[in-house]
């Protein structure tokens, strides 16, 4: 069995896999890491491999802790991947994007796949039908846009994400919601349209913490899978076992 650990900007996600099947998914605060790991290994004693992914550079401590329990792979730009990485600066490519590209490859190994990850940032990652990772884009995420409007202006309030009823806002609050939410919907749809013009038979995967928020609003046909990154990490672990 495999343990996948994804250290995000605010929470840590843990997923237990039996081969390709996810058996368990849970989250914790960073301070509860050791307690959570001990409980996982106590309750799932067949775990013998783990992989650690971190977007914030805190993976070394997690690696040391997990190494007490099993063999651990620390995801980096040097990790072997099943696709050709054509990113011009692979050493700067985020490990989360490596995992998403891997999940895209296994989901659609002979096709063109675009992964849209709507989280703290919105990332776009493209794997073509030659099994080649091309890159994509990075833009501010939902909460980051709300926070920017509040922190970089004198009078705009800090709001929480909210679905909009109309794209024309008739109050300051509804105008902010329209600007952020409708703006992101138009951005994501527009980017997908650009990719569709260049790549035939494009499969689009929407994932990330805010995937559910946008899934119904996008005009483009997509597959929503909020666990896509964890699946990609498990594929990477299996691939690197060999």
Give the CB-side neighbour count of residue 13, counting CA atoms within 13 A.
22
Prediction pTM value: 0.93
Q: Which domain CATH number covers 144? A: 3.30.420.40
Catalytic: 32?
Answer: no
Residues tagged in the binding site annotation for substrate:
87, 94-97, 172
Query: For residue 203, is it within any domain?
Result: yes
Query: For residue 146, is it within any domain?
Result: yes
Torsions phi, psi for 30 (to 5 deg): -55, -35
Q: What element of type H or E holds 13? A: strand 12-18
| Confidence (pLDDT) at 69 | 95
Residues tagged in the binding site annotation for ATP:
6-13, 120
Is 92 found in the same domain as 10? no
Domain that holds residue 119: 84-232
Give the strand pairing for 121-127 and 223-224.
unpaired
Is 90 found in the same domain as 18? no
Is 68 found in the same domain as 14? yes
In this predicted structure, the answer to whether residue 159 has a pLDDT above a threshold of 70 is yes
| Structural domain count of the chain | 2
Residues tagged in the binding site annotation:
6-13, 87, 94-97, 117, 120, 172
Is 226 found in the same domain as 171? yes
Of 136, 115, 117, residue with least CA distance to 210: 117
Give the pLDDT band (50/70/90) at residue 12: very high
Catalytic residue chosen out of the listed positions 18, 96, 125, 189: 96
pLDDT tens digit string along 26-71? 999 999 999 999 999 999 999 999 999 988 766 788 889 999 999 9
Is 157 found in the same domain as 50? no
Using DSSP, state whether 225 is helix, strand or coil.
Answer: coil
pLDDT tens digit string along 104-142? 999 999 999 999 999 999 999 999 999 999 999 999 999
pLDDT tens digit string along 213-234? 898 889 888 899 999 999 999 9
Is 27 found in the same domain as 106? no
Is 63 found in the same domain as 89? no
């Amino acid at each position: 069995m495999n343990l996948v650990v994804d250290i995000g900007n605010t929470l840590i996600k843990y997923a237990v896999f039996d081969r390709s099947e996810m058996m368990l998914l849970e989250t914790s605060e960073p301070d509860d890491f050791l307690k959570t790991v001990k409980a996982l290994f106590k309750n799932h004693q067949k775990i013998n491999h783990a992989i650690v992914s971190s977007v914030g550079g805190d993976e070394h401590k997690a690696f040391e802790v997990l190494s007490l329990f099993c063999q651990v792979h620390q995801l980096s730009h040097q990790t072997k991947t099943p696709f050709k990485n054509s990113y011009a600066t692979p050493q700067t490519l985020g490990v989360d994007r490596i995992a998403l590209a891997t999940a895209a490859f296994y989901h659609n190994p002979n096709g063109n796949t675009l992964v849209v990850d709507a989280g703290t940032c919105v990332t776009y990652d493209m794997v073509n039908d030659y099994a080649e990772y091309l890159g994509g884009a990075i833009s501010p995420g939902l909460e980051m846009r709300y926070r920017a409007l509040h922190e970089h202006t004198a009078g705009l309030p800090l709001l929480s994400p909210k679905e909009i009823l109309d794209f024309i806002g008739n109050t300051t609050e509804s105008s902010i919601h329209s600007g952020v939410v409708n703006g992101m919907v138009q951005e994501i749809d527009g980017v997908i349209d650009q990719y569709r013009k260049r790549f035939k038979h494009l499969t689009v995967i929407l994932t990330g913490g805010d995937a559910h928020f946008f899934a119904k609003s996008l005009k483009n046909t997509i597959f929503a899978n909020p666990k896509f990154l964890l699946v990609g990490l498990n594929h990477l672990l299996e691939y690197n076992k060999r």
